[in-house]
Structure 1
Amino acid sequence: MADLLIDCQRPVRYLQSGQFSAELGWRHHLFTHQADTEVIIGLSGRIQLAIGSEQFKVEAGDVLTVFPFESIVGTLATVTPSQFIWFHFIQDGSYQVVASGNTGTQKSQTVGGQAANNQPTGPTPSELAATTLRIPRYFHLAQQEKVLIAAKQLLDVAHSPYFAQMAENYQATMLLIELANASWQERQGISSNQTSLNEIKEWIRVRMDQDLRVAAVAAHFGLNPDYLTRRFKQELGVSVKAYMNSVKLDWAKYLLLTTRLSVAEVSQQAYFQDAKYFMRFFKQQTRLTPSQYRHAYTHTFLNNQQVDPGVDISAALARQDLE
């Protein structure tokens, strides 16, 4: 398995995106990428794909990345209705394809595909730089809300009237940051053998339907409540209670963007005890009412096998080169 390292000192250049609905019997046609990268985020159902000799099943929460100059094709027809978000971008600078875990041959290229080297090396300083994003070939989102919110925002920004493409570029970069961070958090969680703050956060997240108290959380992990509060403040910069509310808020945002539930129903399903408090808290945190937030991101490009986007990456790349 491989990862893509992207130097994001400057934002990536957005090309195309959409939300695809695949009916029964659909199979991805053979598509060969040029200098562009494609990311596919599974929403529901299952699609089966191959990149070279590697085969993948993309289900809800799965993320698959097609690196530049690779071909992707469907291996089997869908047996259940499936949906996924897709977007194409190009790196405005150099990138590397490396073996997962910083081992194996590293291939460094620039936009346009000029190979720089194919020599085995160890981790480079650029890998460790704060501006370098690591996007795995394939991984599963343990927590999907933030990535899906960023993806929905990209779809809205990309298909809304903006005076400059800068907005699309920055939103695509923000989505990549969320994907890279989600992957990083997954790796950190796997490598930790002790009770970490990530474990406590996850325990809180899966119990957000309960009216949790700081003392109850601390007692479950055998910690002093004051100590737990200090850890949250030191490592996250927020109180335990503020983190609990942020988890509920993220879920509420996701429901607002992906369902037709009323604001009161969203409040209930996001486990806020009082709808009026939810609306006050939401506006305090986002400076928008729940309804304003929902209507701010409504321009989502939908496509399926009957209404295909007709993506012409060659034309898109040519337009980018002229800018």
Structure 2
Amino acid sequence: MDYLKANISEPLNFVACGNFISEENWSHMKRINDNFEIIIGINGTAYIQQDHEKYEITPGKVLLLFPGRVHKGYSPSRAGTSFYWMHFLCKDEYSVLQEKEARMELAPLQTNPYFSKVKESLSIPTFFSLENPEKVIILFRQLLHITQSGYYSKLAADYLATLIMIELTQQVIDNTFKTSDGGGINNKKFINILEWIRFNLQKDLSVKEIAERFNFNEDYLTRLFKKHLGVSTLKYINDMRVAKAKELLTQSEASIKEIAYFCGFKDEKYFMKLFKEYENLTPTEFRNAYYRTYINNV
């Protein structure tokens, strides 16, 4: 399944929205949009096909239609079928991720705040279910009110459209682990592992130590990380350490050696080598390049 990943450091461009209610049997017209469209089921079932994939949009289901793709109704919906819809554009370039890539980026956000590179992006799958549709419906009603009330600035609709997409992303994140393994005990345990690693980054962590602490063997622990995040346990630990190092480099006066030690690197030279592999910059170059950006970001 495809995911839309789009930068939201600036709001999305709102195009149009509405609450569709069919008064008789209805089927969506065939067309190709030049923008994105979100459809959220309210009542009945809407049958919409995007390229070769068919979707049944029932209450609480969300469908994302991509620009440049053919979408159409493939079966008639009964009278009374209704859904909210919204068209929007991304101001910056966007990317389309495969499910494995998207889950790798989204899953750490459930418990780990250091993955700041994702926090300024939304990530929405093509088709998913809402855990709390009421929250999104309230936002949609506010958006409809704004667009019909002659607000003095179009930015009001842009920001509210962006907030809707943030809420959708949040619900996707909240459901990331619930949908794996049927929400079993291993999922909860895995979340606890991520949180424990976050609080113990400064220690000299090993895969063996983590596995023993949570009563797993090393191979099984590695398989869990591969399944949920798409990376090895060691790669995840290094990801977290480099992300924390970036935060300290831009928000503190600590020396490179102090930052390396605080992030669990006992060898300063290894830290510098690994950091450059991740960022294509040395820690000092990174600090000099982004320091002013963070100072002015208030």
TM class, shorter-chain normalised?
Answer: 0.5 to 0.7
In structure 1, the residue corresponding to 2:123 is in which secondary structure? strand
Structure 1 residue aligned with 2:63: 64
Deviation at 1:156, TM superposition (A): 1.1
In structure 2, the residue corresponding to 1:38 is in which secondary structure? strand
Give 5+ residue unaligned stretches, structure 1. 104-125, 197-323
Give yes or no for the alignment of 1:193 onto 2:184: yes
Structure 2 residue aligned with 1:147: 136
Structure 1 residue aligned with 2:218: none
Deviation at 1:73, TM superposition (A): 0.3
Deviation at 1:76, TM superposition (A): 0.7
Letter of the 2:161 counterpart: A
Letter of the 2:166 counterpart: I
Instruction: Deviation per CA, 1:86-120: give whole Å up to 9, x if none.
Output: 000000001011111218xxxxxxxxxxxxxxxxx
In structure 2, the residue corresponding to 1:189 is in which secondary structure? coil
In structure 1, the residue corresponding to 2:29 is in which secondary structure? coil
Structure 2 residue aligned with 1:97: 96
Give me the whole-angstrom Cα distance separating, in 1, the residues matched to 2:23 and 2:116: 40
Structure 2 residue aligned with 1:7: 7
Residues 127 and 49 from structure 1, CA distance in 2 versus in 1: closer, same or farther, beyond 3 angstroms? farther
Q: Is the 8 A contact 1:150 1:178 kept in 2?
A: no
1:85-234 matches, cutoff 5 A: 85-102=84-101, 128-191=117-180, 193-194=184-185
Deviation at 1:179, TM superposition (A): 0.6
Q: Is the 8 A contact 1:3 1:97 kept in 2?
A: yes
Give me the whole-angstrom Cα distance separating, in 2, the residues matched to 1:79 and 1:15: 28
| Structure holding more strand per residue | 1
Structure 1 residue aligned with 2:277: none
Q: Is the 8 A contact 1:24 1:77 kept in 2?
A: no
Give yes or no for the alignment of 1:24 onto 2:24: yes
Give me the whole-angstrom Cα distance separating, in 1, the residues matched to 2:66 and 2:99: 14
Q: Relative contact order (C-alpha < 8 Å, sep 6+): which is higher? A: 1
Structure 2 residue aligned with 1:223: none
Q: Is the 8 A contact 1:154 1:175 kept in 2?
A: no
TM-score by length of 1: 0.51
Letter of the 1:142 counterpart: E
Structure 2 residue aligned with 1:257: none
Give me the whole-angstrom Cα distance separating, in 2, the residues matched to 1:56 and 1:129: 28
- Number of residue pairs aligned between Structure 1 and Structure 2: 175
Q: Is the 8 A contact 1:40 1:86 kept in 2?
A: yes
Over the matched positions of the two proteins, sequence identity in percent amounts to 28
Q: Which has the larger radius of gyration?
A: 2
Instruction: Deviation per CA, 1:52-75: give whole Å up to 9, x if none.
Output: 000000010000000121121000
Letter of the 1:183 counterpart: V
Deviation at 1:188, TM superposition (A): 2.7
Letter of the 1:186 counterpart: N
Deviation at 1:189, TM superposition (A): 2.1
Letter of the 2:4 counterpart: L
More displaced stretch, 15-24 vs 170-179: 15-24
In structure 1, the residue corresponding to 2:178 is in which secondary structure? helix
Deviation at 1:31, TM superposition (A): 1.7
Deviation at 1:47, TM superposition (A): 0.8
Instruction: Deviation per CA, 1:283-307: give whole Å up to 9, x if none.
Output: xxxxxxxxxxxxxxxxxxxxxxxxx
Deviation at 1:24, TM superposition (A): 3.2
Residues 127 and 5 from structure 1, CA distance in 2 versus in 1: closer, same or farther, beyond 3 angstroms? farther
Taking only aligned residues, the RMSD between alpha carbons, in angstroms, comes to 2.2
Give me the whole-angstrom Cα distance separating, in 2, the residues matched to 1:11 and 1:161: 19
More displaced stretch, 59-68 vs 127-136: 127-136
In structure 1, the residue corresponding to 2:27 is in which secondary structure? coil
Give me the whole-angstrom Cα distance separating, in 1, the residues matched to 2:100 and 2:169: 14
Give me the whole-angstrom Cα distance separating, in 2, the residues matched to 1:79 and 1:158: 28
Deviation at 1:15, TM superposition (A): 0.5
Q: Is the 8 A contact 2:22 2:78 kept in 1?
A: no
Give me the whole-angstrom Cα distance separating, in 1, the residues matched to 2:116 and 2:73: 32
In structure 1, the residue corresponding to 2:131 is in which secondary structure? coil
More displaced stretch, 65-74 vs 39-48: 65-74
Give me the whole-angstrom Cα distance separating, in 1, the residues matched to 2:23 and 2:31: 19
Residues 127 and 53 from structure 1, CA distance in 2 versus in 1: closer, same or farther, beyond 3 angstroms? farther
Give me the whole-angstrom Cα distance separating, in 2, the residues matched to 1:137 and 1:56: 10
Deviation at 1:153, TM superposition (A): 1.1
